[in-house]
Every structure is written in C-alpha cells, then in structure tokens.
C-alpha cells in the first residue's frame, strides 16, 4: 500500500464521506441500519463483504479524483488530531451543511471566509451583526463580500 498510514485514516474518511453523502443515501440506508448501533461490531469483526461495502465508495473516489487525494489525506489527519468534542462539533456542522439550500451555503462560505481573516473581537461583532440581518440584508452583504471560488466543495 503506497500510504502506510492510510488504514488509520480510513475510518474517519468513511465517516466524513457518509456524512457528506447526503440525505438520499441516509434515507436508503435507514431501513437497513440497526437502531441500536452499540450492537454493531468493531472493524476487525466486520465480514469481508461489510468492509468492502464501506471501502468501495472511498476507493472509487480516491481513484476517480487524483487531484483530491492530498486533501482527503489531510482531512483524515485533521480528523485523527481532533478531540471527541471537536469531532462532535464537526459532525453537527456537516449535518447542518447537508440541510442548507444553495443560497445558505453561499452565505456561509462568504461569512466564514470573512470571519477567518478577522481577529476574535471583530468576529464576534460580525457574528452579532449577521444574526441581526434580514434575509435581504444578508444577500446584499454576500454580494458585497463574495466567497472565494477556488477549492469549493459541495459534497
């Protein structure tokens, strides 16, 4: 295997891919997923077929998107470095993102890009202003502060 640490990053990548797969995938799997996840086996106890079912989407994405491989590995490393609380917040954020419409996503991209460049006290001010804005004011703000276009991921 070309990346010895790849196996360590496989589970977080699968979690991330599952989270980003979208509501349709979640609905189709809902009928086959047990409600008591504590009864599910550890990775080592999965059957080869179960492992293959989990790995196939990742393998296909890895093979079909060579330009995304470095980003995929970087995401896996960041996931490994997160605390359980940070992982929980990340999952919540992914869930919120999945349920946003395209306009809301565009607004969040713009807001995040702007906040990233601000010191903490100015971030708090902008966050308070954003919450007080009407939808029309938010659209105008995004028009005046468009998000960066490179590297966008809508998955």
> Range of 152's domain?
100-155
Instruction: Say if residue 42 is in the same domain as residue 95.
Output: yes
Among candidate residues 66, 92, 87, the one with its CA nearest the CA of residue 76:
87
CA atoms of 6 and 1, how far apart (whole Å): 8
Query: What does the pLDDT look like over 72-129, one tens digit per residue?
Result: 999 999 999 999 999 999 999 999 999 999 999 999 999 999 999 999 999 999 999 9
- The pTM of the whole model exceeds 0.85: no
Please check whether residues 94 and 104 belong to one and the same domain: no
Pick the last residue of a domain from 75, 99, 123: 99
Are the C-beta atoms of 96 and 88 separated by less than 8 Å?
no
Q: How many CB atoms lie within 10 A of CB 123?
A: 15
Say whether both 62 and 106 belong to one domain: no
Helix axes 120-132, 102-116, angle to 10 degrees: 150
Residues 6+ apart with CB under 8 A from 123: 115
Claim to verify: residue 123 and residue 91 sit in the same structural domain: no
pLDDT score recorded for residue 86: 95
**Radius of gyration of the chain from Cα atoms?**
19
**Two tokens, residue 124:** 């708090």
Q: What is the distance between the terminal CA atoms of the chain, rounded to a whole angstrom? A: 27
Same domain, 32 and 54: yes
Do residues 64 and 36 both lie within one domain? yes
State how many domains the chain has: 2
């Amino acid at each position: 295997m070309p990346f010895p640490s790849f196996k360590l990053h496989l589970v977080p990548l699968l979690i991330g891919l599952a989270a980003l797969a979208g509501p349709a995938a979640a609905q189709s799997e809902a009928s086959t997923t047990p409600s008591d996840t504590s009864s599910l086996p550890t990775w080592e106890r999965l059957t080869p077929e179960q492992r293959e079912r989990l790995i196939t989407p990742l393998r296909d994405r890895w093979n079909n998107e060579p330009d995304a491989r470095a980003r995929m590995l970087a995401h896996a490393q960041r996931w490994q470095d997160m605390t359980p609380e940070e992982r929980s917040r990340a999952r919540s954020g992914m869930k919120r993102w999945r349920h946003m419409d395209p306009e809301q996503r565009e607004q969040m991209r713009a807001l995040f890009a702007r906040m990233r460049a601000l010191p903490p006290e100015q971030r708090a001010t902008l966050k308070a202003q954003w919450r007080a804005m009407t939808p029309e004011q938010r659209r105008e703000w995004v028009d005046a502060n468009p998000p960066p276009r490179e590297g966008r991921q809508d998955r």
